[in-house]
Amino acid sequence: MKKKIDIKTAFLIVFFSFLCAFLAGGILAWLGTFYAQSYQKMMTFISFIVGQSIMVVPLFFYLKIKNIPIQESIRFNALRSTTVWYVILFSMGLVILSDELDKLIQVFISTPEYIVDLNQLLKPKSFFDGFLLVIVVVILAPLGEEIVFRGFLQRILEKQWRDPTRAVLSTALIFAFIHMNPYWFFQIYILGIFLGFLALKTNSIIAPIILHGLNNFIALLLSFSDSNDDSFYLWKGHVSPWILIFSLFSVVIGFKYVNQKNLN
């Protein structure tokens, strides 16, 4: 007989997972303030790595002591190579369209000072700093967050509520709140919906991990680039029209494949 996890327990596990990640990363970042100024940024990145790594520990510990299969509980299922390529195509297009959406929002709402300060905080001073930043932002954050949200929480809600749409929307809402970023709340919520859609349709967290990782990687690159000059990617402060057209086709083609094929 399979053991079931109720919704209350699932929410408590998610809350405790992020509390542990926040405390572990925060304590290490605080200890880093005692180091020389030249090492503080490196310690900040290391604190991010520790926090993101610890995030999944409470979940895995609970599943282990309850003797519940971890792989099944977090939806860690393999995908066909064809599906992976369509997910990448869909993800690339969606990330670029999201970037343009962000630029349109900036026309009406100026970027808050704390976002600018955050970009400066994350800007690496050395190759090693950059390496650590890529590890945490592109690999560990997508992996940990997708395991907890789309792999574990959304799966529990789908089974308990028997309403996949409600489960996807609710998980995306919590995902947006947990980032504690009012300026990007809407964008994060929309991203969360697509992450949930991919997890639901493929019955695997590999697909949302791909989207999440590509989103963070491209966002990282764009945050350190000069957005005022026209280039291959930019045209008058916005994404080049031909790139937007390509991105739109990528999203449509990828969406049709993921939505219509039997990928489970």
In the chain, how many domains are there? Answer: 1
In a domain, 92, yes or no: yes
Q: Is the dihedral of CA 238, 243, 246, 247 positive or negative?
A: negative
Q: What share of the chain is helix, strand, coil (3-state, %, to 5)?
A: 75, 0, 20
Is 243 domain-assigned? Answer: yes
pLDDT bin (cut points 50, 70, 90) of residue 62 is very high
Please give the model's pTM, rounded to 2 decimal places: 0.92
**Segments forming the whole domain that contains residue 14:** 7-260
Burial environment of residue 156 by CB neighbours within 10 A (0 to 12, 13 to 18, 19 or more):
buried
Is 185 part of a structural domain of the chain? yes
Cα(6)–Cα(157) distance, rounded to whole angstroms? 9
Give, as one character, the DSSP assignment of residue 236. T
Determine, yes or no, domain membership for 1.
no
pLDDT of residue 83: 94
Average pLDDT over residues 35-49: 76
N residues, the chain: 264
Residue-level pLDDT at 230: 67
| Residue 63 within any structural domain of the chain | yes
Q: Among 147, 142, 141, 170, which Cα is nearest to 158's?
A: 170
